A and B are shown apart, each in its own frame.
Chain A
Amino acid sequence: MGTEDFTTYTEVDPNSHISVTSTTIDADVYENEEAYVYADKGADHFGAAFEHDIEVTPDDWSSYWSEMGFGILTNVVDGWKDLRNLSKQAVGIQLYGNPSAITFYIRDCEDGSNDSGGAVAEGTTRYLTIERTSETDIEARIYSDSGRTTLVDTISTTITSGRRYRYIMPASSYHVGQAQEAFATVANLDLNEAAAAGFARPKVNGTLADGRGALVA
């Protein structure tokens, strides 16, 4: 297992509201700016099956209902608002709500299908596993502990069949022109692509001839 090194990612941060270390992205972003962090993994890198682990903490949220995106896969480098509102080729998770009830949404931006659940309060960390379970289905499992032994909720939606993705965007502001904060920390993104030394958990990253995912050792 190996987590992504965020210092190798590209930062679009015109107001210097994002702080990056090797394992964390502290995104103190507002809804009046286009700010995000992304990496180009190459065309069609994210395929018929993937399973990504990521942690997120909503640190400070506007009482006027604000939003940010994270754990995004896309074929276009753009902020979460345009990805989702302009139906671009992207799938991701959004946090939306007020400080006492911030809800997770999983969304295929291309057709707008989505699901929500797993409300979380400010200052509480959630541990997500995002898995494309078939050509047309994706789910996010939301846990309350890093060992992923306590499942809070599972949210799922459809995903465009045949779609492959190039870029990964661990965090993005939702730029709708309003000065509302949506501060969150994203950490320990594991794409589960490295060889697993001494770790028994099978991972989904292969593709069978019929297009379905395959577990690989």
Chain B
Amino acid sequence: MAEGQLARRMELVIPETKATWPERLAFATAAREALRLQHNAKGADFRAGRITKEAFETYVAETFRPRSAAISEAINTIKFDPPADVMADVDLDNQIRPTTSPTG
């Protein structure tokens, strides 16, 4: 099995202005949505015949997938490491209440 490019060879650079935990998480989430829209624009171009199948597949392999991996890593890192001051505000007994939907 020949080795090639790294699957995860990019990282999401979050601007320094996005300094707080919610700002960082919001930025990474926005990046995921921006990438989704970019992907779908390329997909629409392919379906309309404006780009070839090869061009779309190249975009997916060389641009989309590593970017998606970088964004997922950033979101996973931020989401599962909430700061202590935010955690301190959580009151599980009083801030979660039943909805009208039954549970399965």
A181 to chain B, nearest CB (A): 11
23 contacts between A and B (CB under 8 A): A31-B104, A64-B104, A65-B101, A131-B65, A131-B69, A133-B73, A134-B73, A139-B69, A148-B43, A150-B43, A154-B68, A154-B71, A178-B104, A201-B57, A206-B3, A212-B6, A212-B8, A213-B8, A214-B5, A215-B4, A215-B6, A215-B61, A217-B4
Whether A214 contacts B4 in the complex (CB less than 8 A), given A153-B36, A200-B57, comes out as yes
B40 at the interface (CB under 8 A from A): yes
A206 to B68, CA, bound (A): 19
Number of A interface residues, CB 8 Å?
45
**Chain A residue at minimal CB-CB distance from B8:** A134
A66 to B103, CA, bound (A): 8
Inter-chain contacts of B54 with A (CB < 8 A): 200
B63 at the interface (CB under 8 A from A): no
A192 at the interface (CB under 8 A from B): no
Map CB proximity to A onto B33-51 as digits: 1 under 8 Å, 0 otherwise: 0011001101110110000
B interface: dominant SS: helix
**Chain A residue at minimal CB-CB distance from B44:** A149
**Chain A residue at minimal CB-CB distance from B36:** A151
A216 to B2, CA, bound (A): 6
* A213 B101 Cβ-Cβ under 8 A: no
Inter-chain contacts of A136 with B (CB < 8 A): 73, 76
- Give the residue of A147, A176, A202 whose beta carbon is less than 8 angstroms from that of B4: A202
* B39 A213 Cβ-Cβ under 8 A: no
Whether A134 contacts B32 in the complex (CB less than 8 A), given A149-B40, A149-B44, A156-B75, comes out as no
* B68 A134 Cβ-Cβ under 8 A: no
A150 to B102, CA, bound (A): 33
**Chain B residue at minimal CB-CB distance from A113:** B80
A150 to B93, CA, bound (A): 41
* A217 B80 Cβ-Cβ under 8 A: no
Map CB proximity to B onto A73-95 as digits: 1 under 8 Å, 0 otherwise: 00000000000000000000000
Inter-chain contacts of B73 with A (CB < 8 A): 133-134, 136-137
Inter-chain contacts of A180 with B (CB < 8 A): 104
Inter-chain contacts of A67 with B (CB < 8 A): 104
A129 to B93, CA, bound (A): 38
Whether A65 contacts B72 in the complex (CB less than 8 A), given A151-B36, A201-B61, comes out as no
Segment 126-170 of A: residues with Cβ below 8 Å from B: 131, 133-134, 136-139, 141, 147-151, 153-154, 156-158
Known: A64-B104, A154-B71, A213-B8. 9 other contacts (CB 8 A): A113-B76, A131-B65, A133-B69, A133-B72, A147-B47, A200-B54, A204-B7, A214-B4, A215-B61
A98 at the interface (CB under 8 A from B): yes
A205 at the interface (CB under 8 A from B): yes
A154 to B47, CA, bound (A): 21
* B6 A216 Cβ-Cβ under 8 A: no
Map CB proximity to B onto A177-217 as digits: 1 under 8 Å, 0 otherwise: 01010000000000000000000111011101000111111
